[in-house]
Amino acid sequence: RASVGPKYLTGLNPEQREAVETLDGPVLVLAGAGTGKTRVLTTRIAHILSQGRARPAEILSVTFTNKAAREMKHRLGQMLGHAVEGMPWLGTFHSIGGRILRFHAELAQLKSNFTVLDVDDQVRLLKQLLQAENIDDKRWPARMLAGLIDGWKNRGLTPSQVPSGEAAMFANGKGGKLYASYQERLKILNGADFGDLLLENIRIFREHPDILRQYQQRFKFILVDEYQDTNVAQYLWLRLLSQAPSSLTSPRLRGEVASQGSAIARPSDAGEGDSPQAELVEAAPRPSPLPVKDGEREKSKNICCVGDDDQSIYGWRGAEVDNILRFDHDFPGAKVIRLERNYRSTGHILAAASHLIAHNEGRLGKTLRTEDQDGEKVTVTGSWDSEEEARGIGEEIEQIQRQGDKLNEIAILVRASYQMREFEDRFVTLGLPYRVIGGPRFYERAEIRDALAYLRVINSPADDLAFERIVNTPKRGLGDATVQMLHDHARKRRIPLFEAARAVVETDELKPKARGSLRDLITQFDRWRAQREVTAHTDLAQIVLDESGYTEMWQKDRSADAAGRLENLKELVRSMEEFENLQGFLEHISLVMDRDGGAEDDAVSLMTLHSAKGLEFDNVFLPGWEEGLFPSQRTLDEQGRAGLEEERRLGHVGLTRARRRAKIYFATNRRIHGTWSTTIPSRFLDELPAANVEITESKGGSAWGGTGGYGASRFDDMEAFGSSYSTPGWQRAQANRNRGAGRNGGGRSGFEEEASTFSSSSSAGPDFGSF
Ligand code: ATP
Ligand code: MG
């Protein structure tokens, strides 16, 4: 049967085919990594189009990234044999929400050309508000407020709905009020932040049922990828759009729609600071299921969501894995389809990934099998330190390249973005093209550029760009007016800004306060330049960051990303050790910066585990599997067991990106938060099935290994990693080596045996008894 029908359907297995061909009514594809969920979605669009069930502009299709949307469009073209024109509603939640908002901007007191603010803009605006309210930005940093507001928006909460307990978390209960004035300011500036893109949609839909109906009618089909990572706002948005338009004519359903919208404020809600509705969103964010009468079922919307509870990795950003677990509750009559065959990875890789995730308790549990070969085992490699790790991985990549593989088929997935620095430097040294996906490259991060700017001004007082970047960072009362005056001076006399500053402080052109702080800054730079002659460049960098107040600026910042930025700064200072002096270091940086990122046709991909979702590569490198780094200590501290399970899902996501090779690394010594420490291999290593894992020797190495035998050793159980947590890594590694030497790795347990372990781990909740 599978061979009958259009060409794009051939090759699908029966379950995939069912998911593609069940066009009417709600469908959930709940299935593990690499089972073809995304492929099913794409094929489904092809099917809808070729069956003439809808035009391209009548399909709403949500992907997790813009890149994924482009790729989907490309695949669609391949399936249909011609390019697909006009799929305006294929994109991310943000891009689609933004598009809808532009059409109705006036209903949100905006103009259709509104600006979308990035985080920096957001923070700047909040700072002004704090100042106006006389709130000490040092005690209550704007960034922290930005994080709170973001969280509220993710949960669909408008200012009046913020639970009072949470509003109290900022500036003694002023959180909600500041959120409200922030929204007002945004309107005046004709701006929206990311959260608004959806939140304003929801509000407009709620207040203007005619507009909602228009969209409900337009979108004949709705498709959503990565459904496990939707947050409450996204969920509410989908719920509204996915109701059959005719159902709104039923007063009962209208009532339902209204109560569903209760998480979204209307103007009349204003003033209900601690409305119980808001609490409701906390305790039970989901509205009750739509009452669907017999005969109305056909009218319920054609929505198809695909996802995998084991890949839910954005809980920290407000995603609610519950959305997927309750799908058939929210969309009654939903057909739930499970896919069990993994088409991506070889047997060993899949077994390792499945075994790891089986250690989680909060999961539905599912079977995954492959008909692919066992392939190469997952390797685990210990290195002396992170530098050796990077060197080793660099060697392996070159080797893979020599064997004829494309660099495009190689990815390095890190837990923390600061880990990238070492790889970037290594790749520059090797001349190996690379691209960083889902974020700026290390040296392009804002905090790194700031720090570099200080060093550049020390190195070259004529570096105006650098000087301008940091003259008022951190804030020292040298605002735009001062900078403008310096520019005027500099232009007139044809001197660099720094020299202009030196001249200006001798005059009374500046107000005393600005004059004082500019003089201080000049004095500081003169002192640092003098110190440069007698101090190691790494020490100097640290001194500059500390004395300038730059480190302190981030220390006082309580936003979610501040800690990461401080880590990056430490990493920057550390990276300087590899150079003889400041000059050499800065030359290296200009080389790194000069590379035209992303332009390369064939390049290694470098990204965080979070950004890797949905992607696949032949070769996947997974460095830094050490306690504290992965699982991340911060996640464990803040979220306990739930955090650990989310980290484990990240590990699962990482491993399941690999088609042919998955290579895990741990370093025995790593500098975390700037200090060297002996690390403990990640507990996740202990959770890998020995039969699918091979321990190998680092190729980067000097301090380690070297003596024969180690690379060939195999172990029957991975306890070798876990049982000796208290001994320093290198000793344990030594012990492992000795232990492994005489072994020959018993029988092949392979994947089939493991399959029973992870498919039996089902912990289905009541709603899923029927799965
Ligand atoms: P993830 O959970 O990681 O997002 P997924 O379930 O979306 O994975 P896809 O990316 O759609 O999986 O598919 C994984 C790989 O398997 C892709 O390369 C895809 O082309 C291939 N694949 C899926 N179904 C089939 C099939 N029936 N025949 C051959 N290859 C397939
Ligand atoms: Mg996918």
Q: Each residue of 131-145: pLDDT tens digit?
A: 888 898 888 888 889
37 is catalytic: yes
The ranges assigned to domains in the chain are: 94-218+243-300, 375-436+603-759, 443-592
The pLDDT, as a whole number, for residue 732 is: 41
Residue 320: per-residue pLDDT:
79
What global pTM score does this model have?
A: 0.74
Write down the pLDDT at residue 374: 94
User: Among 23-37, 47-61, 256-270, 425-439, which is the least confidently predicted range?
Assistant: 256-270
pLDDT band, very low/low/confident/very high, at 750 (cuts 50, 70, 90): very low
The per-residue pLDDT for range 339-358, each reduced to its tens digit, is: 999 999 999 999 999 999 99
**Average pLDDT across the chain, whole number:** 81
| 68: pLDDT strictly greater than 50 | yes
pLDDT at residue 547 above 90?
yes
Rounded Cα gap, residues 302 and 219, in angstroms: 9
Please tell me the distance from the alpha carbon of residue 433 to that of residue 596, in angstroms, as a whole number: 10
Task: For strands 27-30 and 335-337, give the pairing.
Answer: parallel
Q: State residue 266's pLDDT score.
A: 29
Mean pLDDT of 1-18: 82
User: Can you tell me whether residue 177 is helix, strand or coil?
Assistant: helix
Split at pLDDT 50, 70, 90, the class of 109 is: very high
Given a contact cutoff of 8 angstroms between Cβ atoms, the answer to whether 117 and 193 are in contact is: yes
Say whether pLDDT at 29 is over 70: yes
Q: Which atom in ligand 1 lies closest to the alpha carbon of residue 307?
A: 2
37 lines ligand 1 (CB under 6 A): yes
Q: Taking the CA atoms of the chain, what radius of gyration do you get in angstroms?
A: 28
9 in contact with ligand 1, CB cutoff 6 A: no
Average pLDDT over residues 459-467: 86
Cross-strand bridge partners of residue 319: 231
pLDDT band of 2, cuts 50, 70, 90: very low
The pLDDT assigned to 43 comes to 97
Provide the pLDDT for residue 238: 95
Residue 431 region by backbone torsions, left for phi larger than 0, else alpha for psi between -120 and 50, else beta: left
Instruction: Give the model confidence (pLDDT) of 491-532 as tens digits.
Output: 889 898 999 999 999 998 899 999 999 999 999 999 999 999
State the pLDDT at residue 675. 74
Q: For the structural domain made of 443-592, what CATH number should be given?
A: 1.10.486.10
Q: What is the mean pLDDT of residues 40-56?
A: 95
Rounded to the nearest angstrom, the distance between the alpha carbon of 261 and the centre of ligand 1 is: 36
Instruction: Write down the ipTM of this complex.
Output: 0.99
The response to whether residue 225 sits with its C-beta less than 6 Å from ligand 1 reads no
Which mutation among 10, 64, 65, 343 tests ligand 1's pocket best, with the greatest number of atoms within 8 A of CB? 343
What's the pLDDT band for 166 if we cut at 50, 70, 90? confident
What is the band of 300 on the pLDDT scale with cuts at 50, 70, 90?
low
Bridge partners of 30, per DSSP, are: 307
Backbone angles phi, psi at 417, to 5 degrees: -65, -30
**pLDDT higher than 50, residue 741:** no
Residue 338 a catalytic site member: no
Please tell me the distance from the alpha carbon of residue 754 to that of residue 743, in angstroms, as a whole number: 22
In the prediction, which pLDDT does 756 show?
27
Range with lowest mean pLDDT among 197-206, 357-366, 537-546, 711-720 = 711-720
Higher per-residue pLDDT: 586 or 423: 423
Task: List, for residues 637-666, the tens digit of each pLDDT value.
Answer: 888 888 999 999 999 999 999 999 999 999
**Residue 588: per-residue pLDDT:** 77
Q: Does the pLDDT of residue 701 top 70, yes or no?
A: no
Per-residue model confidence (pLDDT) at position 271: 30
* Nearest ligand 1 atom, CA 31: 6
Q: Is 187 helix (H, G, I), strand (E, B) or coil?
A: helix
pLDDT bin (cut points 50, 70, 90) of residue 329 is confident
Question: Using CA positions, which residue lies closest to atom 23 of ligand 1?
Answer: 36
**Residue 686 to residues 153, 412, 536, 660, 718: CA-CA distances in angstroms?**
39, 21, 41, 22, 5
Is residue 226 flagged as an active site residue?
yes
Q: Exactly one of 234, 311, 551, 679 is catalytic; which is it?
A: 311
DSSP state of 614: T
Taking alpha carbons only, the member of 736, 718, 733, 656 closest to residue 388 is 733
Q: Ligand 1 in contact with 628 (CB < 6 A)?
A: no
pLDDT band at 263; cut points 50, 70, 90: very low
Q: What is the pLDDT of residue 594?
A: 60
* Mean pLDDT along residues 378-392: 94
* 224-242 pLDDT per residue, tens: 999 999 999 999 999 999 9
Helix, strand or coil, per DSSP, at residue 370: coil
Among 136-145, 254-263, 441-450, 509-518, the range scoring the smallest mean pLDDT is 254-263
- CB atoms closer than 10 angstroms to residue 21: 14
Instruction: Answer yes or no: 121 catalytic.
Output: no
Q: How confident is the model at residue 328 (pLDDT cuts 50, 70, 90)?
A: confident
Residue 307 CB less than 6 A away from ligand 1: no
The dotted CATH code for 375-436+603-759 is 3.40.50.300
Would the annotation count 38 as a binding residue? yes
Q: Whose alpha carbon is nearest atom 24 of ligand 1?
A: 36
